[in-house]
Amino acid sequence: MTTDTTATRQNPDSAAAAQLCTELSQVAERSKPSQETDPKDALSARMARFKALQAQKDSGKKANDKAARIEEGNKARPAELESKLRHVRDMAEFKLLKDGDPEFERKRAWDYTAEEDEIWKKRVAKKQRNKDNNVFNDYQREANKVYKRQIKQLSQTDLESYAASRAEKLQKQVAAGLLELVETDDGDVYTVDKQGRVNTPVEENYNCDHKPSKEAVDRLVDQLDKSERARLKARAARGLKDDDSGDVTYINHKNKQFNDKLSRFYNKYTAEIRESFERGTAI
């Protein structure tokens, strides 16, 4: 007994190998089919063990995926938190510098050139105009905003060819005497019609021979379809439906609701009068 313990302490690898061989032999003995065991029972036991192993593999895979997602989230969270803290720190430092020095803005402008300052002022003015333009003023300005937005969405619009054709038309009308060519002291040239409009072609009494390309027509059709889908989606979100049945006796949705309310309360009293109007026999 002492000799075996000493040998085990001196050579632990051999002891582990011996233990592994013993376990393998036990597994082999258990896996041998017994003469008294029914083959169907042995097959069902193997299938049950196989299904258990499959379930264990699936659960292990799900656990690994969940752990990987949690680890990725933990890696990304400190970066986002650090970015937010850096932004808050920068804003606090900027506020402290601005409140502590009355000439902060003037000294800050020393770091920029005159050209950069002019670009920045134009950018701020444009941003303010866009902000003020969001308020409803009149339908003409609203239509102009929609037109500009649609032109911007049609990114493939060939504005250069349009400007070239328009300039050619202006030149032809100047040569025909329909427009007057004016040159300023700075060398700028523009046209003026009889109504005083600048660089505006005169409407001539002949059919226009301009024909847009198929690609331009397809873009316009797609844009109209997109606008119509957006309009229907917005109406559906507000619970409105396009009902074209019957006569149109309203000018807007609120007026239609009011007319429907009147119809619910007074139609039973005015039915005879309305039928007389339809027949043309009303007094």
Q: Residue 123 — very low, low, confident or very high, per pLDDT cuts 50/70/90?
A: very high
Q: Which residue has the higher pLDDT, 73 or 225?
A: 225
Residue 237 in any domain: the answer is no
What local confidence, expressed as pLDDT, does residue 178 receive?
77
Taking residue 202's Cβ as centre, other Cβ atoms within 10 Å add up to 15
Residue 272 in any domain: the answer is yes
- The residue segments making up the domain with residue 169 are 159-203
Residue 266 in any domain: the answer is yes
**Percent of the chain residues topping a pLDDT of 90:** 2
Distance CA 261, CA 259 (A): 5
Residue 221 in any domain: the answer is no
Count up the domains in the chain and report the number.
2
Q: Kind and range of the H or E element at 74?
A: helix 39-100
Mean pLDDT for 156-174 is 76
Cα distance between the two ends of the chain: 131
What 154-158 contacts at long range (C-beta under 8 Å, 24+ apart), as own/partner pairs, is 154/219, 154/220, 154/223, 156/215, 156/219, 157/216, 157/219, 158/216
pLDDT at residue 209 above 70? no
The pLDDT tens digits for 82-97 are: 888 888 999 998 888 8
Mean pLDDT for 129-145 is 77
Q: Domain boundary residue among 203, 231, 263?
A: 203
pLDDT at residue 28 above 60? no
Could you tell me where the DSSP H helices lie in 101-138? 104-108, 114-133
Of the candidates 162, 188, 189, 191, the one whose C-alpha atom is nearest the C-alpha of residue 178 is 191
pLDDT at residue 264 above 80? yes
Residue 185 in any domain: the answer is yes
